[in-house]
Structure 1
Amino acid sequence: MSLIDRDCLRRLLESDEPDATLVFVHGDCVVLPGDRIDDVHRGLVIVGRDELLALLSGVDVTDRRLDDLAHRLDNVVRDLGA
């Protein structure tokens, strides 16, 4: 079972927050504005929207591409000990 999936990434991309960040909190991916990320959440940050957009630069944002990135980020979450 994936911890990070395509829907998590879509929520991050579609967030109205200019500094939206994907954070893993209590077993779920949550999009938080950058100014709400405190010391408690800092170690749980997966990716910021700007970083995600950089990873998607020059490619079409397809379900397949989001699935691939979600799989890579899911590995990051697991490495963090989730």
Structure 2
Amino acid sequence: MSLIDRDCVRQLLESEHADATLVFVRGDCVVLRAGEIDDAHRGLVIASREDVVAQLPDGGALSEQALDDLAVRLDNVVRDLGA
């Protein structure tokens, strides 16, 4: 079972905040502004939008396959955090 799916990635990429960050909180992916992340959740940060955009192929194409590929990578990050 995936912890991060394409909808989590889409939420991050479509956030209105330039400093949007994907955080894994109590079993859910949550998009927060960087300034909203407190010390208790800093260790649960998965990726910033800037980091994810840099991984998009073809200059930022948001195909379903690209979202799925990013979700798999980010899911691995979550699992490495011990979720």
TM-score (norm 2): 0.92
CA distance in 1, matches of 2:64, 2:31: 19
Question: What do residues 15-41 of structure 1 show as CA deviations (whole Å, max 9, x unaligned)?
Answer: 111200000000000000010011111
Alignment match, 1:37:
37
RMSD: 1.1
* 2:82 aligned partner, one-letter code: G
CA distance in 1, matches of 2:62, 2:68: 10
Mind listing any 5+ residue stretches in structure 1 that lack a counterpart?
none
Give the paired residue count: 82
SS of equivalent residue, structure 1 residue 56: coil
Moved over 6 A (4+): none
Mind listing any 5+ residue stretches in structure 2 that lack a counterpart?
none
Alignment match, 1:5:
5
Alignment match, 1:23:
23
Percent identity (aligned): 67
TM-score (norm 1): 0.93
